[in-house]
């Protein structure tokens, strides 16, 4: 009876040690008598008890490693603290177990020394503006160095760069000065552009005013010229009509002289203080005077 119980317990122990269930995205490193035997993938795996044992369980997922903040001296002798995170994935589980004592420690130490080497060749300002460059160089160097460990470095990201307090204060003052400078430059540029726009507007307005005044003068002159032309045409027609009427009446010398006197009378009504009478007109006046006396004597005799 006791023998059966012991046998049953022995069978259960052997079954427990023989049957292994490997989870998804994991592998088992199996050793036989202290020597690497095989890699057990996800699923059910049978091993020989007391001969085989699981050396290590390796995850094939992408893993992250937070590198402790490290003090780094830049090229211009400023000590800054850099906080970094590394994303890696095991591609060869056997190498990750047998080629290095501790893969995580190896990646951590390698990342620290590489960061100090890269940042030590840069100025402080360059470290802030070259994060992408630092990340890329770190990833390349770490990937090449960890390849023999069966590991692939996917990404390296610098989370934070902290300069000393005095340097940070100086940088903030410099940034404020730069912002004020840019604001003043933008304000001056806006005022200059506004002045240019106003000047151009005034110039265009003055040009338009001058053109309008010129056009008005041209039209006024054209109107006055047209009016003078019409008046001249009317005067010419009037003179022509008078001439035609006189020509049809066939006037004698006395009528002509009388009309001359009427013309002289109209001239005398002008604003001139002196009137010059032609010599020929004086003889006509004398004749008219004689005619006036004859007419006066004839009237007296009739009375």
Give the model's pLDDT for residue 202: 86
**Lookup result for tokens 């009037």:** 238
Return mean pLDDT, the chain.
Answer: 79
Q: What percent of the chain has pLDDT over 70?
A: 78
Tens digit of pLDDT for each residue in 87-119?
999 999 999 999 998 999 999 999 999 999 998
Q: How far is CA 272 from the centre of its chain?
A: 78
Which pLDDT band holds residue 251 (cuts at 50, 70, 90)? low
Taking the C-alpha atoms of residue 196 and residue 182, their distance in angstroms, rounded to an integer, is 21
User: Which is it for the CA torsion 117, 121, 124, 128, positive or negative?
Assistant: negative
For the chain, helix, strand, coil in percent to 5 are 65, 20, 15
User: What is the average per-residue pLDDT within 124-147?
Assistant: 89
Q: Which of 73-82, 129-138, 176-185 has the lowest mean pLDDT?
A: 176-185
* 233 vs 89, more confident: 89
Write the CATH number of the domain with boundaries 63-163.
3.30.479.30
Taking the C-alpha atoms of residue 143 and residue 107, their distance in angstroms, rounded to an integer, is 10
Query: Looking at the whole model, is its pTM more than 0.95?
Result: no
User: What is the average per-residue pLDDT within 170-186?
Assistant: 80
């Amino acid at each position: 009876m006791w023998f059966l119980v012991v046998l049953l317990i022995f069978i259960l122990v052997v079954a427990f040690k023989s049957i292994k269930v490997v989870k998804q995205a994991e592998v088992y490193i199996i050793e036989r008598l202290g020597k690497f035997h095989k890699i057990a993938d996800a699923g059910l795996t049978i091993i020989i008890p007391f001969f085989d044992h699981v050396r290590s369980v390796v995850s094939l997922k992408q893993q992250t490693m937070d590198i402790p903040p490290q003090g780094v001296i830049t090229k211009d002798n400023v000590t800054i603290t850099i906080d970094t995170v590394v994303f890696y994935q095991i591609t060869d589980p056997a190498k990750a177990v047998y080629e290095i004592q501790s893969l995580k420690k190896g990646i951590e130490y390698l990342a620290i020394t590489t960061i100090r080497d890269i940042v030590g060749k840069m100025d402080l300002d360059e470290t802030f503006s070259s994060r992408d460059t630092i990340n890329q160089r770190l990833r390349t160097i770490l990937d090449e160095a960890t390849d023999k460990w069966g590991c692939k470095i996917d990404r390296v990201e610098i989370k934070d760069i902290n300069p000393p307090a005095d340097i940070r204060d100086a940088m903030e003052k410099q940034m404020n000065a730069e912002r004020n400078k840019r604001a003043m430059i933008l304000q001056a540029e806006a005022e200059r552009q506004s002045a240019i726009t106003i000047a151009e507007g005034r110039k265009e307005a003055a040009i338009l005013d001058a053109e309008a005044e010129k056009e008005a003068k041209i039209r006024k002159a054209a109107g006055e010229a047209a009016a003078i032309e019409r008046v001249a045409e009317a005067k010419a027609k009037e003179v022509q009509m008078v001439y035609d009427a006189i020509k049809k009446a066939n006037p004698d010398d006395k009528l002509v002289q009388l009309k001359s006197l009427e013309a002289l009378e109209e001239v005398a009504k002008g604003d001139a203080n002196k009137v010059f009478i032609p010599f020929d007109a004086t003889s006509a006046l004398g004749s008219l005077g004689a005619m006036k006396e004859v007419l006066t004597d004839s009237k007296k005799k009739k009375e």
